[in-house]
Structure 1
Amino acid sequence: MNKIHLIILLFLSLNSFAQNVKTSQNDLQKKIDHYLKETIEVNKIPGASVAVIKNGKVIYEQYFGKSSIKENTIVDRNSIFRLYSATKLITTVAVFQLIEKNKLSLEDKISNYLFDLPKEWQNVTIKNLVTHSSGLPDIVKFEDIPYSLEEHEKWTRLYKKPIEFEMGDHYSYNQTNYCLLTKIIEKITGSSYEENVLKNQFPNVKKGVVFSANASEFIPGRVVHHVFDFKKKKYERFNADHGKIHNSGSGLNMTLKEFIAWNERLDTNQLLNQETKNLMWKQFEFKNKKDKFLYGWSEYSTNNINSLGFTGGYMTAFRKFPSEDLTIIFLSNGYKYFHMEEKAVDHIAGIVDEKLIDKKLWAEEEITNAFFENNYTKAIQTYHVVKNRNPAINFEDTLLNIAYTLMNSDRLTKAIKVFEFNVQENPKSFNAFDSLAEGYFNNGQTELSKENYQKSLELNPENTNAKEMLLKIENLSIRK
């Protein structure tokens, strides 16, 4: 073969390969698009933006729906989403930046930096804050510490609350931890928490990143947080102001574009060197030897493949699959029936890489969507098709989640049908009968409720809920 023919053949081969790669990526994008559009439609999610980064390249970036239903504005590249608790990832990076600069240590006691703490708080360390193992009272759990309370008074009241558990014993998600990290970061740097983060993690960013834990505050380009009111049968705007004290835990707002850029800086060691990231992504050893959590990051596992990230407000999710060099970002601004940010990330991961397909998750999603998308008869048909396809999977919990979601969304009649079907599918489950009894009770069908609580108790004599509810039903009948 002469050189000219060889060059032509090589050119054609390379061109064919490039076309196949392009077609494959187009197919991938179509599959992700199809999944997201179906899920968004079933759950009536107002708006969302999603990105997939593989091997350092953005292979999928898309925007869906409305940033504001009332104003009829669309989600686009300039739309700013509040990250809610996914903000904690950024705050954790800020902590580890200080560790990398030898200005802070995981072993440091918080009393080294904060001098007005109660005696019981003195020995809590930085690592206990970022791993939610501090045992400190959670600032958001007390009626006498409302969000609207002045900050100094919040701390005054919180300092009087009892310690919840022994430091380091187990994982207990706690907003106090990150409120304290704000104070420590500010003490060390001499600047505000917000200024520190913007300077060290978002250099040269002029717009698209802003701190505000106030949902009612007007920020140009920020999407509206929508909450569905089932009585009014429409979305309402969420207007709660959580206060500046929660900026480090849930107050960062940014565009998908800037989140992608932040991830690139993290991946290319511009924010932290690899050694520091490895420390941050190390598993913390809880005393109970059961809980699993990294330093500020949640750990997940799919088919024995680990990933790490965090979610926020039941609407946002950030996840990294290090071994697959895959990152998925999901941002949304509301949901009607059920939050699905983690499920969306897991499903997309399976579309991108078949090793990450979670068959149980996909089957549960198909069944769930059927009950919220189709009429009851078609949903049951879909259930049997999926069950026949996955004979080893038990869908009792799936059916219960569907039924409770229906019941909580003012669709009690359909919920009872699903509870009844679940009993048919799981006739030996005390929990199935207990849940059906609850549905009947909420519908005023006390005799049927009584019968099913009794059946539940027969299957499990230790079911205290059934005992209490039977006593309650008996008391109601006496009063009549």
Structure 2
Amino acid sequence: MKPFILTVLALSTSIYTYSQKTYPSAAIDQYVKEVIKINQIPGLAVGVIKDNQIVFQRYYGTENLENDKKVDSNSMFRIYSTSKLMTNVGVFQLIEKGQLSLEDKISKYLDNLPKEWQDIKVKNLITHSSGLPNLIAFNDILPDDSNAKVIERLSREKMDFKTGNQFSYNQTNYFLLTMIIEKITGQPFEQFILNNQFSDSKNQVIFSSNALEKIPNRVIKYNYNSEKKQYEKSTDVSGTRAHSANGIAITLPAFLKWSLHLSKGDFLNPKTKEMMWHPFDFSNKKDVFTYGWDISKVNNIASYNFSGGNVSAYKIYPQNNIAIIMMSNGYSLFSVQYRIINHIAAMLDKNLADDYSLAEETIISEFSKKNNPDAERIYHSLKAKNSKWNFENTLNDIGYTLLRNSRMDESIKVFVLNVKENPQSANAFDSLGEGYFYAKNYVLALENYKKSLALHPENTNAVNMIRKIEDAMEKK
């Protein structure tokens, strides 16, 4: 097969010759199949909306690995934290109706809160700026514990930071949002979301944060065991209180309908959506996040998005009237949810093409191929296109991913390339030292850790590893 770079570049450029109302279905399909093959993705669904029309809707692979049941329009993928988008829309539907305000203190709706929580506002929950302790960090909080018991347990912990200061992704925020929504509406959270966002597709959406629960047509998520070199079923169980944060399983047709309703203003009016997508003013003046959505920009064009479990993502480009959905059930090397979405967006509209990201995607794809002799050559050809591009972190991530997947020789080659490209990087030499250490080449491991320490004398990891290696060499 010809080098993947040619495929990527062809798909990225040929599309710009299409007329305004002609969409590159065949090219998108070819690209997605290539990504699936490289990353050994068991099952996947992709949907694309342009100008309020569904222009691409395809299904790939299998729902599970036990009976090879094919993914189709009835397959309900677990979207994990992408579920938060539906919760966010629900919150703003209540705001639009005047039943809730971002400035409301949560104590207005919730009783028996700790003193330190009294001044937290709704806006702090939805922007992850509350500073609350994260409930998933405590093993003694069980899935079936009552809300009161969870709050009592968390009340024994100190606040992580001053409310409003910074962004810190936290499931406690959505646990409390669930309670607030139920208090205001007088109905279960799940029923409120279904009635107000999925009235035309209720039978294609289900709430469950229990991977062990047997649900017809629900796609099984798999985690790749790099040591055994095989997929294993996910066994995560979060309980019903996690439904607002990670509980939705949904078909692609239902997700596409949801997106169309969002774009057309059926859920929220334009002013409310503008409020929802406005960046929150964190006190540290560093973090960037809207009211429940990640925000990203390409060529100064904003998009709003979220992902879940490294297997799903949704991104909407209001200015371009484009929305893209990606849902899968596992990957063996690199998570690809945003790579797929960003690449397809660039194929639909050249103004959404990020040349650096496309180059990075190609580099990752090439090194992902086993023993690919062209990978380094392609890397250099891409790097030569822009002298300002730096792929140090990308190469480092590739090296460690290959190392975790027992592709040691290939991993070391990537780490070697990285130190050649970044000879003043202590981290690059540290990583190469680790690669040689796992290969039991202690001489070269020691040499590279010492180089790392010389570049960064405060590198305590290098100090510890040098001592560990020297001890091991003395015992030989």
Tell whether the structures are fold-level matches, with TM greater than 0.5.
Answer: yes
2:156 is equivalent to residue 160 of structure 1: yes
Q: Distance in 2 between matches of 1:219 and 1:83?
A: 15
What is the deviation of 1:143?
2.8
Equivalent in 61, 65, 71 of residue 75 of structure 1: 71
Q: Which residue of 2 aligns with 1:243?
A: 239
Taking a change above 3 Å as real, the CA distance of residues 276 and 457 of structure 1, as seen in their structure-2 partners, is same
Mapped contact 2:363–2:378 kept (Cα < 8 A): yes
What pairs up with 1:231-310 in 2 under 5 angstroms?
231-310=227-306
Partner deviation per Cα, 1:43-71 (whole Å, 9 max, x = no partner): 00111111111111111111111111111
Equivalent in 49, 53, 62 of residue 53 of structure 1: 49
Q: Which residue of 2 aligns with 1:189?
A: 185
Q: Which residue of 2 aligns with 1:99?
A: 95
**SS of the counterpart of 1:48?**
strand
2:177 is equivalent to residue 200 of structure 1: no
2:387 is equivalent to residue 400 of structure 1: no
Q: Distance in 2 between matches of 1:476 and 1:187?
A: 62
Q: Which residue of 1 aligns with 2:28?
A: 32
Counterpart of 1:104 in structure 2: which amino acid? Answer: L
Mapped contact 1:25–1:59 kept (Cα < 8 A): no
Mapped contact 1:140–1:146 kept (Cα < 8 A): no
What is the deviation of 1:383?
2.1
Counterpart of 1:454 in structure 2: which amino acid? Answer: K
Shifted more, 379-388 versus 109-118: the winner is 379-388
Partner deviation per Cα, 1:202-253 (whole Å, 9 max, x = no partner): 1143411111111111111111101112232221211221110100000011
Equivalent in 123, 126, 150 of residue 127 of structure 1: 123
- Normalising by structure 1, we get a TM-score of 0.92
Q: Which residue of 2 aligns with 1:409?
A: 405
Corresponding residue pairs, total? 461
2:379 is equivalent to residue 387 of structure 1: no
Mapped contact 1:148–1:241 kept (Cα < 8 A): no
2:440 is equivalent to residue 438 of structure 1: no
Counterpart of 1:53 in structure 2: which amino acid? Answer: I
Counterpart of 2:106 in structure 1: which amino acid? Answer: I
User: For structure 1, which runs of at least 5 residues remain unmatched after alignment?
Assistant: 1-19
2:352 is equivalent to residue 368 of structure 1: no
Q: Which residue of 2 aligns with 1:15?
A: none
Mapped contact 1:29–1:60 kept (Cα < 8 A): yes
Partner deviation per Cα, 1:146-185 (whole Å, 9 max, x = no partner): 5465655333322211100000001000000000000011
Taking a change above 3 Å as real, the CA distance of residues 192 and 456 of structure 1, as seen in their structure-2 partners, is same
What is the deviation of 1:83?
1.3
Q: Distance in 2 between matches of 1:160 and 1:376?
A: 54
Equivalent in 321, 343, 348 of residue 347 of structure 1: 343
Counterpart of 1:178 in structure 2: which amino acid? Answer: Y
2:137 is equivalent to residue 141 of structure 1: yes
Q: Distance in 2 between matches of 1:135 and 1:81?
A: 31
**SS of the counterpart of 1:186?**
helix
Partner deviation per Cα, 1:326-377 (whole Å, 9 max, x = no partner): 1111111111111111111111111111111111111111121111225242
**SS of the counterpart of 2:274?**
helix
Taking a change above 3 Å as real, the CA distance of residues 479 and 374 of structure 1, as seen in their structure-2 partners, is closer
Q: Which residue of 1 aligns with 2:173?
A: 177
Partner deviation per Cα, 1:83-120 (whole Å, 9 max, x = no partner): 11011110011111111111111111111111111111
Counterpart of 2:456 in structure 1: which amino acid? Answer: N
Q: Which residue of 2 aligns with 1:16?
A: none
Q: Distance in 2 between matches of 1:473 and 1:306?
A: 49
Percentage identity across paired residues of the two chains: 46
**SS of the counterpart of 2:102?**
coil
Q: Which residue of 2 aligns with 1:17?
A: none
Shifted more, 284-293 versus 448-457: the winner is 448-457
Q: Distance in 1 between matches of 2:244 and 2:215?
A: 18
Mapped contact 2:52–2:264 kept (Cα < 8 A): no
Equivalent in 451, 461, 475 of residue 455 of structure 1: 451
Q: Which residue of 1 aligns with 2:6?
A: none
User: For structure 2, which runs of at least 5 residues remain unmatched after alignment?
Assistant: 1-15
Taking a change above 3 Å as real, the CA distance of residues 22 and 461 of structure 1, as seen in their structure-2 partners, is closer
What is the deviation of 1:448?
1.8
Task: Report the RMSD for the aligned CA atoms in angstroms.
Answer: 2.0
Partner deviation per Cα, 1:398-420 (whole Å, 9 max, x = no partner): 21111011111222232112212
What is the deviation of 1:259?
0.7
Shifted more, 35-44 versus 393-402: the winner is 393-402
**SS of the counterpart of 1:320?**
strand
Q: Distance in 2 between matches of 1:246 and 1:37?
A: 33
Please say which structure displays the higher CA radius of gyration. Answer: 1
Counterpart of 1:350 in structure 2: which amino acid? Answer: A
**SS of the counterpart of 1:296?**
coil
Mapped contact 1:54–1:326 kept (Cα < 8 A): yes
What is the deviation of 1:32?
1.1
Equivalent in 80, 87, 98 of residue 83 of structure 2: 87
Shifted more, 407-416 versus 242-251: the winner is 407-416
- Normalising by structure 2, we get a TM-score of 0.92
Q: Distance in 1 between matches of 2:177 and 2:27?
A: 41
Q: Distance in 2 between matches of 1:130 and 1:439?
A: 41
Shifted more, 288-297 versus 223-232: the winner is 223-232
Q: Distance in 2 between matches of 1:112 and 1:150?
A: 20
Q: Distance in 1 between matches of 2:417 and 2:353?
A: 28
Mapped contact 2:18–2:24 kept (Cα < 8 A): no
Q: Distance in 2 between matches of 1:73 and 1:24?
A: 37
Counterpart of 2:171 in structure 1: which amino acid? Answer: Q
**SS of the counterpart of 1:59?**
strand
What is the deviation of 1:188?
0.9
Taking a change above 3 Å as real, the CA distance of residues 184 and 150 of structure 1, as seen in their structure-2 partners, is closer
Counterpart of 1:256 in structure 2: which amino acid? Answer: L
2:354 is equivalent to residue 358 of structure 1: yes
